[in-house]
Structure 1
């Protein structure tokens, strides 16, 4: 902040040193008649109306002091008393009629709404939000809402981008954010059947401007660009029982690999399809082993035992697919392998998990 030199305080004629005839001095250098401070305070309190009784009290105290000390300010004190009295009357009428409560309620709602408006980068894990920019690339403001109300997204976690000395560009950060947020989301919502169909992995990236200010945070979320959804999708280790968590850790990899099926069919890329079917076989065998070796506490064994048996049958069919000699043999085993994937709905129901997949998706594993 710039500093400006001024005259020496205390020098004749300098500010702060009244001389004869200067403001603050009376005729022939005698002190002027002072103004009562309480009278001034009474007037101020009466004008701002923040504490009406205070202005009234200060004014009543000031009047006798003014008479006793022969001070100025009687008009200020009287005006303060009148204004404060009017404010007190209005306050009483407001309380009786309910108008004051209505105004205060509106004020509180305004403060609450303002406190809920946040930058996307101030969001915290577990918060649900509505995106005022409708999930556009550059969103400056989101509104935090209760997860039981319709919302556009739910924060699943965040992480900091490292390894760059300068702004790397959005594409570079996007390549990091996509797989990292997929992992974060998978850990946050293990009960994948509880995630609505049109809700997908979403994330907010630092901008070049925020990067220059030190922002390195990627905020991960489940969000939708279509109809807002209600309820939290959170189902992580903090909300699940040990049985539920083990079950989902066992069967979720099958679903994860399932969505990685190559876009090109076996006639166009046989190697990629054969490798993928091998991954599916490994996920099925791992799930079967995990379910069979776990001690289930308080769970009826029948649904899990049935699923374990069906996974064994599915493993045989997927092994045929994974070991197919060529595209023709692959096609021959393809439908049978898919049909062999078991429905885990009954076991999920017994565990207290979501037993109906999102609309439009299959019920396998």
Structure 2
């Protein structure tokens, strides 16, 4: 406890403490409050001074032998049992000679090391050590296949432990020829946000961008089974803090039969004829799918604009097909498809020029009926492409 009043001149007794009685030649016992000395009743230097026997304070505490600690650690680490045994045998005489602690640690290290050495010898004799190493190697191989969803690469197929979720920590890469849950079609980095924007803005961005990436990766859309959907993995709030900005886009199965075989159909897998055909017909398919949510009665202008875009895509598709040299069995069905597209373009042009909503509805069904529903099934078959989703499921 600190004195109630501040100390005075260090050469003088503290106020409030009487000086030694002059009648006593020896004075009160040193260190008592009645004989504070030049520095008062408290020791002037550091811990231990004046608090224990002897003129320099308490006796030093015994230390723990370092070899004993090393022996225990080496005994616990199964790959270092001989060292643990040696350290323990060295530690015991040192502890006795230097009056140190740690005898129990050394003994425990010797016992553990002896057991580990015995097990190693038995493993080598019986071949168990080889089996253990084989299992360790297999475990490392499996661990190498387990990756974060954000580290997956374009073209890799994977399985997920459990159902697909908005976030996943581990997926297993598998051969695309084997049954799998999904296939990575690409990805992108989120930009434009200085801080965590929340899930909704990233989710909206991922939905739009991943649809484009998926269409470019799997151009043969008729080969995609009906139970396969665009799926994506987005950063979480926690991973965002560590610098994660990756969105991984996939084609995945949430329910139903797993995928077998790759869905990839792009410049790396298609021949020039297949590529030309899909580039032109996908333009039409994508335009049709962009129909406004509000019908013509609610937003007539938006629907007219959409019909105009579909008309343009049909005209461009027809030109693209006629501008390519088709050979073999595909030439005739592609030519027939071109004629169907020309006829459909006229009806969609009328739909886009409708004077009002009533006129629009009169032309709506006519325009759709003029457009080939299968977008050229015969031409697809001649080119070796899927004619419908059933072809991919039965493959």
Q: Larger radius of gyration, structure 1 or 2?
A: 2
Question: Contact (CA 8 Å) 1:133, 1:139: kept in 2 or not?
Answer: no
> How far off its partner does 1:238 sit?
0.6
Q: Which residue of 2 aligns with 1:363?
A: none
Q: Which residue of 2 aligns with 1:266?
A: 296
What is the distance in 1 between the residues matched to 2:359 and 2:120? 94
Out of 160, 180, 183, which is 1:131 matched to? 160
Out of 279, 286, 292, which is 1:249 matched to? 279
Query: What whole-Å deviation, never above 9, does each CA across 1:159-186 have from its counterpart, x for those lacking one?
Result: 1122222222222222322222111111
Is 1:337–2:373 an aligned residue pair?
Answer: no
Question: Contact (CA 8 Å) 2:124, 2:130: kept in 1 or not?
Answer: no
Q: Which residue of 2 aligns with 1:120?
A: 149
Query: What whole-Å deviation, never above 9, does each CA across 1:309-335 have from its counterpart, x for those lacking one?
Result: 110111111112111112222222222
What is the distance in 2 between the residues matched to 1:324 and 1:178? 32
> How far off its partner does 1:125 sit?
0.7
Q: Secondary structure of the equivalent of 1:276?
A: helix
Is 1:90–2:122 an aligned residue pair?
Answer: no
Out of 216, 229, 233, which is 2:245 matched to? 216
Q: Secondary structure of the equivalent of 2:184?
A: strand
Q: Which residue of 2 aligns with 1:362?
A: none
What is the distance in 1 between the residues matched to 2:263 and 2:248? 16
Out of 205, 212, 217, which is 1:183 matched to? 212
Q: Which residue of 2 aligns with 1:350?
A: 382
What is the distance in 1 between the residues matched to 2:274 and 2:211? 21
Is 1:145–2:174 an aligned residue pair?
Answer: yes
- Give TM-score scaled by structure 2 length: 0.64
Q: Secondary structure of the equivalent of 1:220?
A: strand
What is the distance in 1 between the residues matched to 2:200 and 2:215? 23
Q: Secondary structure of the equivalent of 1:155?
A: strand
> How far off its partner does 1:109 sit?
4.5
The gaps in structure 1 that reach 5 residues or longer are 1-21, 25-40, 48-78, 360-365
Given the superposition, is the C-alpha separation of residues 120 and 83 from structure 1 closer, same or farther in structure 2, using an over 3 Å criterion? Answer: closer
What is the distance in 2 between the residues matched to 1:238 and 1:220? 19
- Give TM-score scaled by structure 1 length: 0.69
Is 1:317–2:347 an aligned residue pair?
Answer: yes
Consecutive aligned runs of 4 or more in structure 1 exceeding 6 Å deviation: 79-85
Question: Contact (CA 8 Å) 1:156, 1:221: kept in 2 or not?
Answer: yes
Question: Contact (CA 8 Å) 1:284, 1:315: kept in 2 or not?
Answer: yes
What is the distance in 2 between the residues matched to 1:156 and 1:23? 57
Query: What whole-Å deviation, never above 9, does each CA across 1:17-54 have from its counterpart, x for those lacking one?
Result: xxxxx999xxxxxxxxxxxxxxxx99849x9xxxxxxx
Out of 187, 193, 197, which is 1:168 matched to? 197
Is 1:230–2:260 an aligned residue pair?
Answer: yes
The gaps in structure 2 that reach 5 residues or longer are 1-64, 68-78, 86-114
Q: Which residue of 1 aligns with 2:34?
A: none
Query: What whole-Å deviation, never above 9, does each CA across 1:138-164 have from its counterpart, x for those lacking one?
Result: 322222222223322211111112222
CA RMSD of aligned residues (A): 3.1
Aligned residues between the structures: 283
What is the distance in 1 between the residues matched to 2:364 and 2:223? 29
Given the superposition, is the C-alpha separation of residues 325 and 130 from structure 1 closer, same or farther in structure 2, using an over 3 Å criterion? Answer: same
What is the distance in 2 between the residues matched to 1:80 and 1:310? 81
